[in-house]
A = this chain, B = another copy of it.
Amino acid sequence: MPTIYDVARAAGVTAATVSVALSGRGVVNRKTRERIIECAQELGYRPNLVARSLTMRRTHTIGLVIHDIANPFYAEVALAVEQIAQRAGYRVIFANTTGDSRLGEELIEDLAARQVDGIIAMPGGLRADAVRAIAATGLPIVPCLWDEEPNVGLKHSVGVNFGAGGRLVADHLLDLGHRHIGIVAIGTPDEPTMRAREATFRDRLAERGCPIDMALWQWADGSLERGHGAAHNLLAVARPLTAIYATNDVMALGVLAAARERGRHVPDDLSVVGFDDIGMSRFLTPPLTTVRIEKTALMAAATDLLLRLIAGEEVTAPPPLLPSLIPRDSTAPPGRQSATEGR
């Protein structure tokens, strides 16, 4: 690979001049510039961006730390981030934690060592204090869509009022007339903290005189497979159950599958509601009632925020957005009097 020195020699000038000529920063004689450009082209010169990064202390790279990109929710997030970054001349390194917060910490440290200009930190496999530690370093980092600790105690973050979403679901189901509601939540039985979207749901149910039966509370890890399994557990329980709230769409997809496998027709025999509104939700059978998170808009805003932060602009993070419930065909008033078991 030819360096700037090679083209300098070819053009009969010095490296500094080539640098200036090629970047169009300073002023260079028209003819010399042309000669330089020509030589560069001929030699197939391509700037070494890591050398430039070293000098400039800017890599034009950002890091995106997510749970796992195979989850459509994060995939959509990643697309939004990359598109905004790309247009600004930034590239993005993505790293999957798969829920391992030990790994998450390593990854985030590595990104910092690689001198990324900033980081977008999604929840799952990243502890708040690790994020704070990085932030304390001065590295711009914006936490996005964190359930607990919406802003991670940081000045810049972009969030959503997940609690409001949980309430919307409770109201929707209650209004339809459901009284026997199961939930497939993300988390583990032993972990004491509960995410807002689950907590407010439970609280609202109690508030409206229909406290949830904890035998109908299932924990899962957010994956399709686990959501599917949890739904089977729920449907196997010999109790009335007319609706299931899966706290993300991917698990809701698993719930729909389990319902079908057990001969439960959705929504006649069972209502299902999800959370997130991933792209495919409206195409499912039946189209899924869910809580919409404006992922794309939010992540675009988050990325823009990060880029401005990097540029040293004085910016202020947008306030948490209110999610909205999108009623589709997977929910309906309870039909056949609380079927207990499909098959």
Contact = CB atoms under 8 A, between A and B. Distances in A.
Interface of A: 1, 46-51, 53-54, 59, 61, 68-72, 75-76, 78-79, 82-83, 86, 91-96, 107, 109-115, 137, 224, 228, 253-254, 256-257, 260, 279-280, 283-287
Contacts of A279: 70, 224
A61 B260 CA distance: 44
| Identical subunits present | 2
Given A78-B69, A93-B91, A113 B283 contact: no
B54 A83 contact: no
Given A96-B86, A228-B283, A91 B110 contact: yes
Given A72-B72, A257-B287, 15 more contacts: A46-B112, A47-B113, A49-B113, A49-B114, A49-B115, A50-B53, A69-B75, A72-B75, A82-B96, A224-B279, A228-B283, A253-B283, A256-B283, A280-B280, A285-B285
Contacts of A48: 54, 113, 115
A66 to B, nearest CB: 10
A160 B109 CA distance: 37
16 contacts: A49-B110, A49-B113, A49-B115, A50-B50, A50-B54, A50-B114, A61-B93, A69-B82, A70-B72, A72-B72, A78-B94, A91-B111, A93-B93, A94-B94, A224-B279, A257-B285
Contacts of A284: 257, 284-285
A79 B96 contact: yes
